[in-house]
């Protein structure tokens, strides 16, 4: 049997709840109790697995009636999401985060598999291969932002 981390299990649980829905609202403490983990574990899963780069928008409200809302975003229907992605990338992006953005574009059928493969090659560490990780991440952000801008104007 495959070894899965508690983060993988919580992610799968939240995605199962989300199912075909556009969004869900959860209480962090209830999910933490369900898995017998501390609430910060739920925060970690949401912050690392339910990102804009992965096709999710997360909102939270603190307090007694607080909740965490996880919304699946559809890139095809909302050009503003491409703008949000561009803003989220900013001046620098890691290879892993860039790959997540490209994978999400493919899964949302914004790009074809071939286009995705080409984009991944363009932003790969071995392609950019600079002496400085900082400069490499900055160049990767410029390349990916240019590609997203092109998609935005075609939409």
Q: What is the DSSP string of 26-50?
A: E-HHHHHHHHT--HHHHHHHHHHHS
pLDDT, position 1: 45
- Residue-by-residue pLDDT tens, the chain, 155 positions: 467 899 999 999 999 999 888 889 999 889 999 999 998 899 999 999 998 878 888 988 877 667 899 998 766 566 777 788 888 899 999 999 999 999 988 888 888 999 999 999 999 999 999 999 999 999 999 999 999 888 766 54
Q: Enter the tokens of residue 147.
A: 């590609």
Q: Do residues 70 and 14 lie in contact, with contact meaning Cβ atoms separated by under 8 Å?
A: yes
Which structural domains are found in the chain, ordered by start?
Answer: 6-72 (3.30.56.130), 79-154 (1.10.1200.150)
| Gap between the Cα atoms of 83 and 89, Å rounded | 10
Q: Helix, strand, or coil here: 25?
A: strand
């Amino acid at each position: 049997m495959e070894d899965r981390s508690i983060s993988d299990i919580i992610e799968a649980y939240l995605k199962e709840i989300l199912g075909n829905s556009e969004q869900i609202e959860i209480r962090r403490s209830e999910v933490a109790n369900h898995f017998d983990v501390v609430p910060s574990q739920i925060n970690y899963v949401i912050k690392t697995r339910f990102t804009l780069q992965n096709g999710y928008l997360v909102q939270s409200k603190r307090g007694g009636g607080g909740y965490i809302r996880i919304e699946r975003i559809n890139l095809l229907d909302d050009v503003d999401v491409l703008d949000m992605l561009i803003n989220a990338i900013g001046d620098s992006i890691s290879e892993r985060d860039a790959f997540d953005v490209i994978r999400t574009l493919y899964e949302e059928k914004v790009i074809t598999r071939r286009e995705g493969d080409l984009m991944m090659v363009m932003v790969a560490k071995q392609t950019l291969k600079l002496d400085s990780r900082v400069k490499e991440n900055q160049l990767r952000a410029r390349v990916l932002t240019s590609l997203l801008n092109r998609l935005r104007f075609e939409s």
